Structure 1
Amino acid sequence: MITVRKLFSLKDGTRERKIIKILGEWERELSEGVLPDSLYLKEFFRALTQEQTLSSYGDLGTDLSVGSEDPLFLRRKINHIRHELIKALGVSPAEWDLIHRPDLSGAERKIFPCKIYLDEIRSPFNVGSIFRTAECFGVSEILLSAGTADPGHLRASRTSMGCTERIPWRRVEIEELRNLNEPVFAMELGGVELDQFIFPEQGLLILGSEELGVSPECLALAEKSRGVVTIPLYGNKTSLNVSVSFGIIMNDWSGEFLLA
């Protein structure tokens, strides 16, 4: 690691970005219960306090002697300083700037026998968010229409937190959906309210376009099978983000069977 003296001799802008990177690395280590080198840590905060343009952030570390052996205490302290520095640089943090809980990839992933179909979902952010939620709820496969944003898009991949590489996905034509030998239902306005909807034990859930909703072809397919489920809304906008709506639906659907 770069020495503290070298770190604080870097030019403005470069110095702050390097400090933010180091703080992020410490957070990742702390999230796994690994404490940073205590001598380097003390020297770092001492230099931070003495640096004229950064002294206010160094003050945040003056009480590190209290609870300094506690990884959660240190992580919260370092997280606060890192985000204050990000703010000082005039940068709004994105999802991928956040340091999340440790990856439990070693743990067995419980698979729920369901698939979802993304029907012309255009936003890479929404696609990534749907993949992330789908991974959490054990979705077995994600099917994509031709017009749905590419899960390999950088924004989708980042938003998914790597989940675009964990769930099998492929593009399919509507004809293939018609040949599926399993229940199909769609999430759309005007259907059966969520608390009244009877979910199949397995099947395919269709999520529609952010702009136009579920396509007429997919809607017809759902209505011939298990129908349409609707989330009751009480505001004037009546427009819930598709990835948020998906999470609400999956919580109810998987909860009926995975937690039974």
Structure 2
Amino acid sequence: MTQTDAPARPVTIITGASRGIGAAIAERLAIDGHDLVITYRARRHEADAVARRCEASGSRVLLLQVDLADLDAAATVVPSSIAEFGRVTGLVNNAGVTGRIGGFLDAPIDESERLFRVNVLAPIVLTRAAIAHMAVDRGGAGGSIVNISSGAAHSGAPDTYIPYAMSKAALNALTTGASKEFGPVGVRVNTVSPGTTRTEIHAEAGRPNAPDERAPRIPMRRPGEPHEIAGAVAYLFSADASYTTGAEIRVAGGN
């Protein structure tokens, strides 16, 4: 096989991939042969470090600094990715914020508004743009989208972060609806729902020790690790998942 005959590498966008679960997904997909578009909001040095690790695995990497609460900025991600690589075959809607841990009556509405912009409206913007590019009835070659949800979408997260749980339930509905509407045109849409996972998101929510505090209530008696979430995402992008769409994989230690 000549170089020009070699199959094109998949090109996957991962939002919020400078650390935590997003970084683990990027590094795993790099190993699996993807070229990557990594978005980050503020921590460029961490995004650079993730990009270097992915490049060491053979990936080409485009870094995009985007605040996904700005929907006009979110709308530039897919076009910028296509301009760089010529195509996009995958999207991981990973970026998300929780808001402060606490009771529902104390959740500031402006915080919840930003949360919904990042967790729900930006994925709508990105998913629509990706599907418009991928759909075979629009001249695309098909593709795969994975939404990173949360077990909170099922529990409702009382006394913790109900607005966050609401936003993740909305993301699950996006998977269900889009998988049915766009399955006929070659686009698979699935969900991975982590349980409590050891990342910095808990510190940002005001409870850095939350993973270990919750461990006794998890059937496996421990929090998850980012690479364990990344493995489920990698499966959904693999040939083994070619008949899988509209699915939710819960990686939650039994919860």
Larger RCO: 1 or 2 (CA < 8 Å, sep 6+)? 2
TM-score for both structures, normalised by structure 2: 0.36
The structure whose residues are more often helix, as a share, is: 2
- TM-score norm. by structure 1 comes to 0.35
